[in-house]
């Protein structure tokens, strides 16, 4: 996505290796990144601002569980996050 996130992905991989686990560098698809940012924006404006990072974290957990249950691509993941973001917006 960009240099910062490429470096961050390497840091996550190296930290996992120090714990005896091998993982691929986490990478962000631009569409998914945009939906995560929008989710954080909505949460920050409709709930407590400090909930925004936790909302993004729970989105990551939900996405990984969806990926384990069903083969999905980045577009489907972005749509999954967008669905919940729009629910939050409607409820605001």
Q: Is there a domain that residue 57 lies in?
A: yes
- Biggest alpha carbon–alpha carbon distance for the chain: 44
User: Domain count of the chain?
Assistant: 1
Nearest-CA neighbor of 92 among 44, 51, 50?
Answer: 44
* Residue 8 contacts residue 51 (beta carbons within 8 Å): no
Domain range enclosing 69: 26-91
**Would residue 8 count as lying in a domain?**
no
- CA dist 83 and 8 (Å) reads 27
SS3 58: helix
pLDDT digits (tens, 9 = 90+) for 15-73: 999 999 999 999 999 999 999 999 999 999 988 899 999 999 999 999 999 999 999 99
Tell me whether residue 7 is in a domain. Answer: no
pTM value > 0.85? yes
């Amino acid at each position: 996505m960009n240099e910062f996130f490429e470096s961050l992905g390497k840091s996550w991989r190296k930290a996992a290796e120090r714990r005896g686990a091998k993982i691929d560098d986490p990478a962000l698809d631009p569409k998914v990144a945009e939906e995560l940012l929008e989710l954080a924006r909505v949460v920050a404006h409709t709930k407590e601002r400090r909930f925004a990072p936790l909302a993004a974290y729970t989105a990551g957990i939900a996405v990984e569980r969806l990926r384990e249950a069903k083969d999905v691509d980045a577009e489907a993941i972005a749509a999954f996050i967008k669905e919940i973001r729009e629910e939050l917006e409607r409820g605001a």
